[in-house]
Amino acid sequence: MSPASEHAAAKAPDLAREAMASRALWHVAPGVAELRPSTAGAAPPGALAVRARFSALSRGTERLVHFGRVPPEAADAMRGPGQEGDFPFPVKYGYCLVGIVEEGPRAGERVFCLHPHEERALVAPHFCAPIPDHVPDARATLAANMETALNALWDAAPLPGERALVIGAGVVGLLAAFLLARIPGMSVTVVDRDPARRAPAELLGACFAAPEEAPGEQELILHASASEAGLRVALEKAGFEARILELSWFGAACPALPLGAAFHHRRLRLISTQVGSVSPALRGRRSHAERLALALSLLGDARLDALLGPVIPFAELPARITALLAPPPGAAQPLCPLVSYGT
């Protein structure tokens, strides 16, 4: 064993103890979260010791977790890397963490980690992706959502010159619109009930419309509103033989849809898309790691900073997470709340 290897081996127990001395966010009851000392067991082989700088709340998925709405039949599929506990409670959950490697051959490297909200963690290397130099720490937290949008576009196979709707101006919807708007000749309209979403949609190169103003005869529709009403708009605005990609995660909800004569007469295609598997369009040619690396590289555009915020200190997260995930009526709807670890 080389001297460097002996030093790394000698440091491993200390790193494990230090990581366990940190704190992580746990969901402990519907609408209740708290910070708990890390209690992880044995470190994964070759684990990286990562000190967090930022993490992001993925509002759609983490809302279901926070309020205990993960369907039992989906519990295994929803289980995330680094998760501790089981649904519904108590559970440590999250998958958008950015930090810096503290020790070993990759010391000093900035990484995006599929890992819960935690101050310091030991993370398996295959769940840590290097962050390109042109992507700042805060914006890198969008990587998981960008990966979802990217996989959806691989499923959708958009064509230059097509007319496209993106229904639902959350983070995934806006990132999908951002990617679509880069295709030559593509006409992209983002549809949302919240007029505050007009500014980020237009900043990212798309048009904006309220549901009642959305253009019809669309050839490609990406639905990301996680609502029955949004999916009905998609069916209504679809043109002949249109493709409707369903990006939403409904949890235990069962939306009722008008799948009568118009649906069949127009020969519409309703297609599921989900990030857990690489799209069939590139499966076998792109690994999960390669897809995530590409998603990170696509985050170089400074306009994407409009999706980020507010920034919440980690210590305040338990007290503020409920309002961030489910703001009261009339309150502003944040896009991608950021958690700052002050490091």
Parallel/antiparallel/unpaired status of strands 218-223 and 163-167: parallel
Per mean pLDDT, which range of 5-9, 52-56, 194-198, 286-290 is the poorest?
Answer: 5-9
pLDDT category at 252 given cuts 50, 70, 90 is: confident
Q: What is the pTM of this model?
A: 0.91
Contact 114, 81 (CB under 8 A): yes
pLDDT > 80? residue 208 = yes
The per-residue pLDDT of the chain, averaged, comes to 92
The 10s digit of each residue's pLDDT in 29-39 is: 999 999 999 86
> Tens of pLDDT along 46-84?
899 999 999 999 998 999 999 999 999 989 989 999 999
- What are the tens digits of pLDDT across the range 311-322? 999 999 999 999
Please, are residues 237 and 213 in contact by the beta-carbon 8 Å criterion? no
Contact assessment for residue 196 and residue 315, using Cβ atoms and an 8 Å cutoff: no
User: What pLDDT score was predicted for residue 253?
Assistant: 76
pLDDT category of residue 343 using cuts at 50, 70 and 90 = low
Nearest of 2, 142, 104, 113 to residue 52 by alpha carbon: 113
Pairing of strands 207-209, 187-191: parallel
Domains of the chain: 3-141+301-340 (3.90.180.10), 145-272 (3.40.50.720)
Measured between alpha carbons, how far is 193 from 167 in angstroms, rounded to an integer?
10
Measure the CA–CA gap between 140 and 113, rounded to whole angstroms: 10
Q: What is the DSSP string of 87-114?
A: SSSSEE----EEEEE-SSTTTT-EEEE-
pLDDT at site 135 = 98
> Distance (Å, rounded) from C-alpha 9 to C-alpha 46?
10
Q: Which residues pair with 220 in a beta bridge?
A: 164, 243
Closest CA to 22 of 120, 123, 149: 120
- When pLDDT is averaged across residues 208-223 and rounded to a whole number, the result is 98
Given a cut of 70, whether residue 12 has pLDDT beyond it is: no
Residue pointed to by tokens 């390109």: 132
The SS3 assignment for 10 reads: helix
- The confidence score (pLDDT) of residue 10 equals 38
Say if residues 143 and 135 touch (Cβ distance below 8 Å): no
